[in-house]
């Protein structure tokens, strides 16, 4: 494979795209809402209308507005239909200008959405999601037509590893897995490590309740991850990569397997990629669903065939990781940013976002909000804009009470602080974290003690049990929260709850235990009155 062949594939695909194409979401929520049957009926309606070869029907990835799925978009007009049923297929085809006898088939029309006029779409800036909902994730040719693998070609033929790392560093990209560690600095550390073997790992073990960002990217645009990993491998000197994805993501696994086979077939993975000396292979590793395996040392133990439990750091994976060799670990969203940064440049990327948090962030917007789904916004976008404008607020005229970010590791932010910009530093000051990107909205009917108890029960169940503070501390925290919720506690129990939170946070071995108290701490700080209201004969001061 060379650049000429890559461009020839892109040219052929562009010629196909000149005709009308009906794109139907066939992943995630739309798939569970009968999206595949919608696609099949659209194909049948096209054939009945004699439009085979003139109009294409394509299964694509997530279009974002999951609460209104299944979604169908007709290009090139961009008309978007929501809540499409299989019976709507003939109506959609009948609406195509001069395409069929409008009396020959039933014409049950779905409602239309106006993506160009609604904040849910207009406030987004898509980098990670630029191809989601636009290309067929099972066809490498469509990814190539969308400038896919051009970044990899550029780094292999025009750049040395040092200049690749410098480009990522100058861009300001920070790890999107939760901590926000500078990506370029991590890559540089692995590159400088002296070893005859190095590994690349994509952490796709997304386990936060309400989070579906990584799953959607893997389902919708798998080649983007393969390309990002290959660029990283060239930069740090690795020849073997692993994608660790949980077994609950069968569609993502299927699409990744197909993508790896397709990339191998075209010589974009394997030996002498783009006729260069660079060799790189990727394998999948399927996790059994243990939340703790999202922690990088536990993840590596699982890949090695051991029980997925964390171990103390240092040494860090960049120095001694998989099987004792230097290992670069980034999550799905981090790798997904890399091809675009290489293509468009570090200066372009660094102009997006805030001073310390560059680029965009993908969120799964869920909970008590009208428009649930997948969004990508510039860093610095406020929670008010995300919840009230893009999300259309709470259903049935209700009022938002809080938004929880960062999953079980995050905190609950009250509405009075919704003017907070979404970036690493601002959320940290409020007692929450960016996390991998979950955003769960709660309304006035939500009891915040129940919220804290729910997340504590999750952390208690998912604790690997290796260290006593997490193994025993989460159980005691859950029992205290249950006692408070049942109205059997005293003010002394509230003091004990706070002290125990501090102990678990300070002494646990890994990030699961150290962050488990965060929902309790944040709800105690912002919604203390709800705790006091459950304590008999309390006297608030």
Residue 190 in tokens: 């692995």
The rounded distance, in Å, linking the Cα atoms of 75 and 92 is 12
What is the pTM assigned to this prediction? 0.94
- Residue 395 Cα distances to 63, 124, 232, 318, 391, angstroms: 21, 22, 43, 46, 10
Average pLDDT of span 255-273: 97
The confidence band for 19, taking pLDDT boundaries of 50, 70 and 90, is: confident
pLDDT of residue 103: 45
The sign of the dihedral angle between the CA atoms of 135, 140, 146, 151 is: positive
Beta strands in 198-306 (DSSP E): 199-204, 240-246, 281-287
Position with higher pLDDT, 539 vs 233: 233
Best CA proximity match to 336, nearest among 145, 202, 207, 240: 202
∠ CA 320-213-150 to the nearest 5 degrees? 70
CATH class of 360-443: alpha beta
Decide if pLDDT at 214 tops 60.
Answer: yes
User: What's the fold here for domain 148-349?
Assistant: Rossmann fold (3.40.50)
pLDDT in tens, 392-431: 999 999 999 999 998 888 889 999 999 989 999 888 888 8
Check if the beta carbon of residue 198 is closer than 8 Å to that of residue 236. Answer: yes
What's residue 289's pLDDT?
87
What is the pLDDT at residue 406? Answer: 85
Instruction: Quote the mean pLDDT of the chain.
Output: 92
Q: What confidence tier does 475 reach under pLDDT thresholds 50, 70, 90? A: very high
Which pLDDT does position 539 carry in this prediction?
Answer: 62
510 contacts: CB under 8 Å, gap ≥ 6: 292, 295, 297, 298, 310, 467, 470
3-state DSSP call for residue 36?
helix
Q: What contacts 507, CB < 8 A, 6 or more positions away?
A: 467, 469
Residue limits of CATH 3.40.50.11540 in the chain: 148-349
What CATH architecture applies to the domain 448-532? Up-down Bundle (1.20)
**pLDDT band of 98, cuts 50, 70, 90:** low
User: Rounded CA gap, 493 and 460, in Å?
Assistant: 19
Q: Within the chain, which residue ranges are assigned CATH 3.40.30.10? A: 19-115
Q: Where in the chain is the domain with CATH 3.10.20.600?
A: 360-443
Q: What string of H, E and C letters represents the secondary structure of 139-197?
A: CHHHHHHCCCCHHHHHHHHHCCHHHHHHHHHHHCCECCCCCCCEHHHHHHHHHHCCCCC
Strands 199-204 and 111-113: unpaired
Contacts of 240 by beta carbon, 8 Å cutoff, 6+ apart? 197, 199, 200, 280, 281, 282, 283
Give dist(CA 409, CA 436) in Å, integer: 10
- For residue 97, is pLDDT > 90? no
Greater confidence (267 vs 52) lies with 267
422's tokens:
């979404």
What is the token pair recorded at 48?
């009945």
Instruction: Give yes or no for residue 46 having a pLDDT over 50.
Output: yes
DSSP code of residue 304? T
Q: Compute the average pLDDT of residues 6-10.
A: 85
How far, CA to CA in Å, does 476 sit from each of 55, 412, 428, 496? 61, 21, 26, 10
- End-to-end Cα, the chain, rounded Å: 72
State the Cα–Cα distance between residues 390 and 124, nearest whole angstrom: 9
Distance CA 432, CA 424 (A): 9
- CATH number belonging to the domain at 19-115, selected among 3.40.50.300, 3.40.190.10, 3.90.1150.10, 3.40.30.10: 3.40.30.10
Dihedral sign (CA 445, 426, 316, 278): positive
Give how far Cα 88 sits from Cα of 63, 229, 419, 516, Å: 19, 41, 41, 46
Task: Please tell me the predicted confidence (pLDDT) of residue 52.
Answer: 84
Q: Residue 305 to residues 256, 299, 320: CA-CA distances in angstroms?
A: 21, 10, 17
Tens of pLDDT, residues 311-344? 988 899 999 999 999 999 999 999 999 999 999 9
| Phi, psi at 129, each rounded to 5° | -100, 20
């Amino acid at each position: 494979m060379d650049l000429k062949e890559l461009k020839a594939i892109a040219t052929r695909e562009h010629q196909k795209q000149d005709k009308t194409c009906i794109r139907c979401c066939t992943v995630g929520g739309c798939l569970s809402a009968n999206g595949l049957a919608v696609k099949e009926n659209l194909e049948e309606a096209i054939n009945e209308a004699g439009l085979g070869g003139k109009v294409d029907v394509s299964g694509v990835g997530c279009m974002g507005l999951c609460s209104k799925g299944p979604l169908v978009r007709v290009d090139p007009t961009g008309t978007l239909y929501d809540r499409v049923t299989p019976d709507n297929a003939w109506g959609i085809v009948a609406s195509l200008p001069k395409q069929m006898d409008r009396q020959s088939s039933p014409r049950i029309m779905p409602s239309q959405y106006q993506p160009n006029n609604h904040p849910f779409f207009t406030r987004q800036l898509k980098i990670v999601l630029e191809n989601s909902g636009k290309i067929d994730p099972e066809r490498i040719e469509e990814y190539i037509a969308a400038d896919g693998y051009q970044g990899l070609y550029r780094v292999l033929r025009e750049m040395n590893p040092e200049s690749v790392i410098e480009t990522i560093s100058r861009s300001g990209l920070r790890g999107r897995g939760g901590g926000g560690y500078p990506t370029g600095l991590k890559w540089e550390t692995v590159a400088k490590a002296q070893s005859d073997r190095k590994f690349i790992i994509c952490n796709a073990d997304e386990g936060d309740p309400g989070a579906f960002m990584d799953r959607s990217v893997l389902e919708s645009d798998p080649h983007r991850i393969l390309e990002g990993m290959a660029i990283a491998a060239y930069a740090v000197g690795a020849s073997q990569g692993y994608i660790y994805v949980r077994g609950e993501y069968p569609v993502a696994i299927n699409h990744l397997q197909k993508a790896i086979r397709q990339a191998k077939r075209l010589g974009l993975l394997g030996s002498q990629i783009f006729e260069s000396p660079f060799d790189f292979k990727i394998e999948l590793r399927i996790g059994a669903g243990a939340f703790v395996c999202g922690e990088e040392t536990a993840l590596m133990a699982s890949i090695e065939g051991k029980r997925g439990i964390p171990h103390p750091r240092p040494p860090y994976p960049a120095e001694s990781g998989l099987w004792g060799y230097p290992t670069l670990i980034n999550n799905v969203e981090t790798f997904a940013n890399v091809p675009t940064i290489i293509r468009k440049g570090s200066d372009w990327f660094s102009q997006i976002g805030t001073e310390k948090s560059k680029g965009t962030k993908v969120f799964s917007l869920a909970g008590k909000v009208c428009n649930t789904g997948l969004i990508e916004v510039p860093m610095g976008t406020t929670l008010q804009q995300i919840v009230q404008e893009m999300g259309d607020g709470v259903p049935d005229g209700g009022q938002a009470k809080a938004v929880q970010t960062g999953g079980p590791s995050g905190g609950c932010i009250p509405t009075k602080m919704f003017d907070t910009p979404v970036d690493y530093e601002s959320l940290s000051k409020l007692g929450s974290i960016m996390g991998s990107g979950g955003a769960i909205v709660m309304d006035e009917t939500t009891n915040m003690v129940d919220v804290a108890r729910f997340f504590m029960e999750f952390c208690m169940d998912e604790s690997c049990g290796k260290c006593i503070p997490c193994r025993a501390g989460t159980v005691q925290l859950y029992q205290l929260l249950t006692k408070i919720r049942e109205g059997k506690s005293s003010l002394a129990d509230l003091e004990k709850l706070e002290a125990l939170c501090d102990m678990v946070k300070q002494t646990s071995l890994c990030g699961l235990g150290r962050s488990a108290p965060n929902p309790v701490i944040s709800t105690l700080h912002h919604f203390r009155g709800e705790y006091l209201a459950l304590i008999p004969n309390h006297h608030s001061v």
